[in-house]
């Protein structure tokens, strides 16, 4: 089924290093614009730090707002890199080859973006480091019972693990850049980065083993990170609608849904912006869209279970909350947008082969999914915090302020900027992986059928 | 000392006069709540009198329920704090250490009573009021949580005074002396004109209740009320707010008695 | 996968006797497998004798239990636990064929039919389910329900809603499973019909079951397509059945047990048990039934890895539920934890925890155990015993909660101080347990007489994909076709 374009190594080098050794014309304006957005966001953060959290829309009882929504969203996006790379690598799915690098890099940058908001949103951000088990001055260790202590440890572990993952896979490509760099300083930079890579059999073996080992080790971390993020909410009994046992798997599958969608979006952008259509084929979109149908439907099942068991309790406050989420303005509108964009538009569209194989439609549907998934986190977090529950004297409302919106926009710009800068320094599609796929590929005929085959040691 | 401080709130006596709120405000250096703070929903009131309407017109009744930190024995706010800014001390108080707090507001989400407050702004007082600040109470900076402390500064001060004058700082000694009792009781208790609030050491009562045992012989006035009203599920008026959440609060509420209920009880003999 | 190379037609003969090396010619494969199907060994009849005795004991146990009457819910705890065990251990096993087939894993080929055949055991679960319809009171008797039964408007939702839906779902699952086996067997039935002796039962049966199979490309296309659809449908039905069973026949009986994750956990436990069932099946086929040329290390190893992953999943699901319930410290949730985990069934839970998580984790993580013929089967036995105990722990505890069928008891939470005590099995319960095991085995063995237990055409297909060794730079490598 995979129609295949066999390319020689020279063409691969030329195509894929195009972004590194040359610069597309749109690159600089885009980077400048994103830098502007990032600095505006950082300025907003500085203002918030100076004046206090009063400049946000947070209040009592809505103590967590856009910042936490955004945190969960980016943690979710970050799950795609590992999902695509580790799982597909371990199961030896061939279609992973062109997408792994971009997915992993997105993991790293979205994790950094995810770290922004919770670190910014605390009352005294200059003391954030107190949540780490590092403390010589106070003599007090962090409270290990708190999910906010599990969170930073898990996210940092994940960040370190996935950075290593990116780096290990990058080494052979860095050597290629080193060999082709004209400028002596650039050459020195890449010589240092590629750690003396010569491509000897021993080096290849170590690189492959390290990749597989990291895939296997990073998977439990990936599961733990989002489970812990979900427990930030689920362990709390003070807020109706959060105390649900399904939260950990529900968050994970939701993260995979939004994350894999984001990878498909990146693939479509690669085709559109870097003209990588020789490497990212319609078949790749087809494979990822099929995966997305399964993931989205599983996610929907978990969503259904969460609702069923919330209503099964037949408790007043829980039902009031669900009513608020579905029927009361503005949550009703957000809910409809969420459920339609996260499931009911994209999945029926992916049922059509023509949509699955079109970069344009995949771009549209996956953006929709991520709009929906951002709103999903909003719908979970905010209506619960409005506290339409016993002791109803404190019903809340929440309107995000311009500061929050700027900081949220900053995280999006930050990830895009990070990816663009990365693409200037390193190839976004792994050269060695593509070459390996091309070299290992065989074809043979059975009757009228052409069967692709791969080489196994 | 193994005290477990607790409060009794007799809703039948509460008139909703807000004296407790004002007393708390001035005792604990709580910033002045201006109109904009209420509009922003960021007003800080460690004790607040919640007012509910009950019944249909014309038989509408106002219900006043003073709500403040319940000093739960199994407080949901405590385990979620990453920096141990809130923890349970040996006197049954849920204490807040301002210097440790980094302001994650996780505790506030965990609290089902909405008893925790966040300093969204740097607190400010008009020039004329700067000299009225209580020197025994920290002025909280912005970015941290705060809540009712049962006026821990008064407890500490009175215990020291009792050790000096009586040579003993146990609850019995203090409550035997009306002057010391008044010094130890929280500001809201002293300010309450109708004796709605009763403060005392409920150690025996709370631990028996927690273990699911019968309440023992009362040792003081507060324990007497608790035993009378909480022991008998049928006739007693005592209850604890949101008890089904399993938080084991240290505050016992006595329910309101309506005129009709009494008349009905009398007519039925 | 390195080892799939070893079954190569042109490979140098491998020294490792644990690796299966099937014959390389299609006719030899078919001839051998048809021969195996038509001939019965002594081991078969020995097993029939043992499991037959078990089954008879089970029937005796059931009849004696009937004497107690259907209304005594607590007495039927072990019976219902056995129903759940049957549906847990057997009904998910076809997934071991369906999932690797979708992923085009070659190692599944020798065991895919054995896995699909487990869906026939669904017939037993259907039969076993019938008495439960009477054991479990209707909604109008005042138990909690997923179906929002309203006492004041009893006509809105039929009082027997859980019974109707669960029966329909199990029936649907069994029918889908049987259809899947049948479709996948069509080409093999044609092979058997051609080779079986004239006039024998097997010949007439296979001829009829083959439904005029000729092997045209249209027919092959149809078979593959239907197998894909039925496989996907089977998975959905499986999740649906586990959802209904775990909610309507377990969770709603324990007031206050509100665990949105549990239906998924129930299904995930079934997948783990299914992997264990298949490891054991593969090992038995290799060791006692003479399939050692077909089933070898690759299969046991592949399933072992699956079992390992599913053990981790078991822990994750269990901990996700437990952590949230335990951390919240709400009294009614503490009571549920006390009833199911730390209270009357503490030691059972400990055994379950060891058998299905701790032991598999710390043994299968170790290469010498995972990559061996004896390791995974041993762990699989542990996992099956663990699942067996797990079902007893949950169902017996749930069915012993007082007042299930009593309309006057409309409880919403468990009373912490009056939790039911441990319910020990009496001799009839033990008979019922033995009967469940015996009947599972008997039904499966009977099924293996009616359907060939080894997938002949998938085995032959492997020979098409395997292109043997090829020079590759300075080395020799294997080339394997990968259908996409």
pLDDT tens-digit series, residues A184-198: 888 888 899 989 898
Cα gap A155→A166, rounded to integer Å: 16
Q: pLDDT value at position C405?
A: 59
Which residues of chain C approach chain B closer than 8 Å at the C-beta? 327-332, 334, 413, 417
Q: pLDDT value at position C4?
A: 42
Domain membership of residue A303 (yes or no) is yes
* Average pLDDT estimate for A151-160: 91
Q: pLDDT value at position A412?
A: 95
A271: domain range? 9-453
Please give the tally of structural domains in chain A. Answer: 1
| 8 A C-beta contact, residue A231 and residue A147 | yes
pLDDT of C11 > 50? The answer is no
Question: Which of the residues B97, B104, B144 would you substitute to probe the A interface, choosing the one with the greatest number of A C-beta atoms within 10 Å?
Answer: B104
Q: pLDDT value at position C238?
A: 94
pLDDT of A336 > 90? The answer is yes
Cα gap C41→C288, rounded to integer Å: 9
Enumerate neighbours of B (3 or more CB pairs within 8 A). A, C
Average pLDDT taken over every residue of chain A: 87
Q: Which of residues 123-152 of A touch B (CB under 8 A)?
A: 123-124, 127-128, 130-131, 138, 140-143, 145-149
Distance from CA of A224 to the nearest CA of C (A): 9
ipTM above 0.85, yes or no: yes
Domain membership of residue A69 (yes or no) is yes
Question: Does residue A243 belong to the interface with chain B, where contact is any CB pair within 8 Å?
Answer: no
Enumerate neighbours of C (3 or more CB pairs within 8 A). A, B
Are C483 and A451 in contact (CB < 8 Å)? yes
> Burial letters for A193-217: b for 16+ Cβ neighbours within 10 Å, e otherwise?
bbeebeeeeebeeebeebbeebbee
Domain membership of residue A4 (yes or no) is no
pLDDT of C10 > 60? The answer is no
**Domains of chain B, each with CATH number or no CATH:** 5-151+186-268 (3.30.70.20)
Residue with tokens 């300010």: B191
Please give the tally of structural domains in chain C. Answer: 1
Cα gap C5→C21, rounded to integer Å: 11
Domain membership of residue C325 (yes or no) is no
Domain membership of residue C12 (yes or no) is no
Cα gap A407→A40, rounded to integer Å: 8
Q: pLDDT value at position A392?
A: 67
Q: pLDDT value at position A128?
A: 87
Q: pLDDT value at position B234?
A: 76
pLDDT of C13 > 50? The answer is no
Q: How confident is the model at residue B236 (pLDDT cuts 50, 70, 90)?
A: confident
Domain membership of residue C421 (yes or no) is no
Tens digit of pLDDT for each residue in C427-450? 999 999 999 999 999 999 999 989
Q: How confident is the model at residue A289 (pLDDT cuts 50, 70, 90)?
A: very high
Domain membership of residue C403 (yes or no) is no
pLDDT of C268 > 90? The answer is yes
Domain membership of residue C39 (yes or no) is yes
Are A223 and C259 in contact (CB < 8 Å)? no
Q: pLDDT value at position A262?
A: 92
Q: pLDDT value at position B162?
A: 92
Q: pLDDT value at position C363?
A: 93
Domain membership of residue A3 (yes or no) is no
Q: How confident is the model at residue A400 (pLDDT cuts 50, 70, 90)?
A: very high
Which residues in chain C have Cβ-Cβ distances shorter than 8 Å to B245?
330
Q: How confident is the model at residue B77 (pLDDT cuts 50, 70, 90)?
A: very high
Q: What's the predicted TM-score (pTM) here?
A: 0.91
* Average pLDDT estimate for B53-80: 89
Residue with tokens 């048990």: C273
pLDDT of B269 > 70? The answer is no
* Average pLDDT estimate for C98-116: 87
Domain membership of residue C412 (yes or no) is no
pLDDT of C27 > 90? The answer is no
| 8 A C-beta contact, residue C452 and residue C187 | no
Q: pLDDT value at position C401?
A: 85
Q: pLDDT value at position C407?
A: 53
The first and second tokens of residue A402, run together, are: 């311009």
Tens digit of pLDDT for each residue in C407-424? 555 566 777 777 888 888
Are A454 and C323 in contact (CB < 8 Å)? no
Q: Select the more confidently predicted residue: C259 or C465.
A: C259
Q: A67 phi and psi, to 5 degrees?
A: -60, -45
Question: Does residue B37 belong to the interface with chain C, where contact is any CB pair within 8 Å?
Answer: no
Largest distance between two CA atoms of chain C: 82
Q: pLDDT value at position C8?
A: 44
pLDDT of C118 > 90? The answer is yes
Average pLDDT taken over every residue of chain B: 89
Domain membership of residue A363 (yes or no) is yes
Q: Which of residues 259-318 of A touch B (CB under 8 A)?
A: none
* Average pLDDT estimate for C70-74: 79
Are C327 and B245 in contact (CB < 8 Å)? no
Domain membership of residue C402 (yes or no) is no
Q: pLDDT value at position C3?
A: 41
Question: Which of the residues B37, B41, B70 would you substitute to probe the A interface, choosing the one with the greatest number of A C-beta atoms within 10 Å?
Answer: B41
Q: pLDDT value at position B1?
A: 52
Average pLDDT taken over every residue of chain C: 86
> Burial letters for C366-376: b for 16+ Cβ neighbours within 10 Å, e otherwise?
eeebbbbbebb
CATH of the domain at A419: 1.20.1630.10
Q: pLDDT value at position A186?
A: 84
Which residues in chain A have Cβ-Cβ distances shorter than 8 Å to B50?
391, 393
C228: domain range? 27-296+426-462
Are A455 and C324 in contact (CB < 8 Å)? no
């Amino acid at each position: 089924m995979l129609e295949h374009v066999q390319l020689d190594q020279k063409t691969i080098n030329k195509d894929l290093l195009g972004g590194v050794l040359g610069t597309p014309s749109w690159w600089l304006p885009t980077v400048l614009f994103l830098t502007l957005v990032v600095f505006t966001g950082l300025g907003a953060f500085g203002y918030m730090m100076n004046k206090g959290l009063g400049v946000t829309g947070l209040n009592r009882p809505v103590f967590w707002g856009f910042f936490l929504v955004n945190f969960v969203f980016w943690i979710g996006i970050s799950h795609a890199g590992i999902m695509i790379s580790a799982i597909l690598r371990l199961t030896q799915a061939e279609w992973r080859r062109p997408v792994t690098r971009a997915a992993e890099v997105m993991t790293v940058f979205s994790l950094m973006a995810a770290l922004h908001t919770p670190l910014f949103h605390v009352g005294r951000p200059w003391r954030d480091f107190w949540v780490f088990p590092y403390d010589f001055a106070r003599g007090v260790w962090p409270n290990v019972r708190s999910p906010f202590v599990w969170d930073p440890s898990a996210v940092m572990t994940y960040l370190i693990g996935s950075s290593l993952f990116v780096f290990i896979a990058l080494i052979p490509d860095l050597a290629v850049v080193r060999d082709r760099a004209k400028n002596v300083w650039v050459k020195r930079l890449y010589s240092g980065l590629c750690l003396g890579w010569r491509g000897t059999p021993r080096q290849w073996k170590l690189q492959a083993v390290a990749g597989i080992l990291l895939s296997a080790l990073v998977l439990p971390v990936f599961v733990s990170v989002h489970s812990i993020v979900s427990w930030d909410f689920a362990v709390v009994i003070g807020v109706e609608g959060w105390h649900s046992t399904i939260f950990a798997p529900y968050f994970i599958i939701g993260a995979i849904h939004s994350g894999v969608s984001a990878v498909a979006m990146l693939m479509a952008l690669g085709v559109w912006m870097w003209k990588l259509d020789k490497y990212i084929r319609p078949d790749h979109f087809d494979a990822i869209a099929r995966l997305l149908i399964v993931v989205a439907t599983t996610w929907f099942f978990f969503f259904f279970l969460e609702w069923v068991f919330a209503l099964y309790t037949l408790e007043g406050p829980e039902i009031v909350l669900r009513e608020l989420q579905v029927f009361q303005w503005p949550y009703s509108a957000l809910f409809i947008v969420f459920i339609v964009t996260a499931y009911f538009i994209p999945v029926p569209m992916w049922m059509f082969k023509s949509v699955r194989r079109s970069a344009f439609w995949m771009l549209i549907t996956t953006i929709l999914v991520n709009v929906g998934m951002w709103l999903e986190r909003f719908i979970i977090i905010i209506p619960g915090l409005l506290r339409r529950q016993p002791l109803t004297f404190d019903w809340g409302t929440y309107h995000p302020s311009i500061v929050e919106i700027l900081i949220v926009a900053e995280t999006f710009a930050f990830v895009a900027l990070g990816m663009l800068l990365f693409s200037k320094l390193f190839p976004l599609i792994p050269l060695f992986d593509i070459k390996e796929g091309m070299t290992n590929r065989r074809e043979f005929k059975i009757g009228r059928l052409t069967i692709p085959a791969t080489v196994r040691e | 000392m193994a005290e477990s401080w607790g409060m009794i709130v007799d809703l039948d006596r509460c008139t909703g006069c807000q004296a407790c709120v004002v007393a708390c405000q001035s005792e604990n250096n709580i910033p002045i709540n201006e109109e904009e703070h209420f509009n922003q929903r960021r007003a800080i009131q460690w004790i607040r009198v919640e007012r509910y309407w009950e019944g249909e017109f014309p038989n509408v009744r106002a219900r006043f329920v003073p709500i403040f930190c319940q000093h739960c024995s199994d407080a949901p706010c405590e385990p979620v704090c990453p920096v141990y800014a809130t923890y349970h001390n040996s006197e049954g108080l849920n204490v807040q250490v301002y210097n440790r707090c980094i302001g994650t507001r996780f505790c506030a989400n965990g609290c089902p009573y909405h008893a925790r407050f966040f300093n969204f702004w740097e607190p400010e007082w008009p020039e004329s009021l700067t000299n009225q600040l209580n020197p025994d109470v920290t002025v909280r900076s912005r970015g941290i949580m705060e809540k009712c402390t049962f006026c821990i500064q008064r407890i500490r001060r009175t215990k020291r005074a009792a050790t000096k004058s009586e040579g003993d700082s146990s609850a019995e000694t203090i409550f035997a002396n009306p002057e010391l009792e008044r010094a130890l009781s929280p500001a809201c208790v002293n300010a309450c004109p109708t004796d709605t609030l009763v403060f005392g050491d409920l150690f025996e009562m709370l631990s028996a209740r927690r273990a699911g045992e019968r309440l023992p012989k009362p040792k003081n006035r507060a324990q007497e009320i608790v035993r009378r009203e909480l022991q008998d599920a049928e006739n007693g008026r005592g209850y604890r707010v949101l008890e089904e959440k399993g938080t084991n609060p240290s505050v016992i509420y006595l329910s309101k008695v309506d005129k009709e209920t009494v008349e009905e009880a009398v007519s039925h003999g | 996968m390195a080892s799939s190379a070893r079954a190569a037609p042109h490979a140098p003969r491998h020294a490792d006797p644990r690796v299966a090396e099937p014959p390389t010619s299609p006719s030899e494969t078919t001839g051998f497998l048809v021969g195996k199907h038509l001939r019965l060994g002594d081991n078969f009849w020995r097993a029939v004798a043992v499991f037959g005795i078990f089954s008879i004991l089970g029937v005796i146990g059931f009849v004696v239990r009937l004497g107690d009457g259907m209304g005594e819910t607590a007495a039927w705890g072990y019976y219902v636990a056995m129903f759940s065990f049957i549906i847990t251990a057997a009904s998910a096993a076809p997934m071991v064929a369906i999932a690797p087939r979708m992923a085009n894993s070659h190692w599944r080929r020798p065991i895919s039919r054995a896995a699909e055949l487990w869906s026939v055991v669904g017939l037993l679960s259907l039969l076993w389910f019938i008495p439960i319809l009477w054991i479990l009171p209707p909604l109008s008797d005042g138990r909690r329900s997923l179906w929002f039964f309203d006492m004041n408007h009893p006509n809105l939702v039929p009082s027997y809603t859980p019974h109707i839906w669960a029966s329909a779902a199990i029936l649907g699952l069994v029918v889908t499973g049987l259809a899947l086996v049948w479709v996948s067997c069509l080409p093999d039935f044609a092979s058997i019909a051609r080779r079986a002796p004239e006039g024998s039962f097997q010949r007439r049966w296979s001829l009829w079951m083959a439904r005029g199979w000729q092997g045209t490309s249209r027919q092959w296309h149809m078979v593959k397509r239907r197998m894909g659809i039925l496989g996907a449908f089977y998975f959905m039905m499986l999740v649906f059945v586990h959802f209904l069973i775990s909610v309507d026949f377990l969770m709603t009986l324990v007031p206050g047990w509100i665990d949105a994750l549990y239906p998924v956990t129930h299904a995930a436990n079934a997948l783990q048990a299914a992997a264990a069932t298949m490891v054991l099946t593969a090992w038995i086929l290799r060791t006692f039934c003479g399939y050692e040329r077909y089933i070898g290390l690759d299969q046991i190893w592949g399933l072992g890895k699956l079992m390992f992953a599913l053990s981790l999943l078991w822990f994750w699901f269990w901990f996700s539920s437990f952590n949230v319930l335990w951390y919240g410290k709400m009294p009614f949730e503490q009571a549920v934890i006390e009833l199911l985990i730390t209270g009357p069934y503490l030691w059972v839970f400990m055994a379950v925890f060891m058998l299905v998580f701790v032991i598999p984790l710390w043994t299968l993580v170790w290469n010498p155990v995972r990559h061996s013929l004896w390791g995974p089967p041993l762990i699989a036995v542990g996992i099956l015993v663990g699942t067996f105990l797990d079902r007893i722990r949950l169902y017996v505890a749930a069915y012993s909660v007082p007042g299930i069928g009593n309309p006057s008891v409309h409880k919403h939470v468990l009373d912490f101080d009056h939790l039911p005590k441990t319910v020990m099995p009496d001799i009839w319960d033990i008979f019922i347990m033995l009967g469940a095991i015996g009947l599972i085995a008997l039904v499966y063995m009977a099924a293996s007489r009616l359907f060939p237990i080894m997938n002949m055409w998938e085995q032959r297909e492997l020979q098409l994909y395997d292109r043997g060794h090829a020079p590759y730079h300075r080395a020799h490598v294997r080339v394997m076709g990968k259908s996409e």
